[in-house]
Structure 1
């Protein structure tokens, strides 16, 4: 059984490497949490040195889908964003919505 775990990654640390962003789609009260995995979601930019990621976020009963374009440096650290049909908000605003 240990051989299977080592082959398929089971039994390792359960560490979340995700980077979270909070977006409120246009004309919508709901705030959504968007997760980016820097090891799987990022694409190399045309300059060959930096990275970027595009995410779409939809809320129930909201007319618009927010589009996030996120930019990262060569070390995959977040450097900037563009948001269409929505706006980024703080984690505190999302937590308030969630009752936390």
Structure 2
């Protein structure tokens, strides 16, 4: 189950090799083609949940070309592994969707 979530939501697999604390997730705002990469710092961004054992983070995501605002809530276990997601006004997509969107955005040499 966790492998599936990590593949679907990024799971930190697409960051720089020198960014061990970064977890990356990809969001497509509703009604837009743009895909936004969201970085979560597992050491600074996560807040301890009310149960005193798990963690959560809330991010407001907005792209550059698309002005739609997305609310993203991510929930983690005591080992800071993703357990659940909630998203409003958008969809979580995977890193390949981000790569596909970015390809035509980059100027050709």
TM interval, shorter chain, is 0.7 to 0.9
The runs of 4+ residues in structure 1 deviating greater than 6 Å are none
Shift of 1:27: 1.2
Contact kept, 8 Å, 1:24 with 1:87, in 2: the verdict is: yes
Aligned pairs (5 A) from 1:16-95? 16=19, 17-95=21-99
Q: How many residues align?
A: 87
Q: TM-score, normalised by structure 2?
A: 0.74
When Rg is computed on C-alpha atoms for both structures, the one with the higher figure is 1
**Backbone CA RMSD of aligned residues:** 1.6
Match of 2:18 in 1: 15
Q: TM-score, normalised by structure 1?
A: 0.80
Q: Which runs of 5+ in 2 are unaligned?
A: 1-16, 105-109
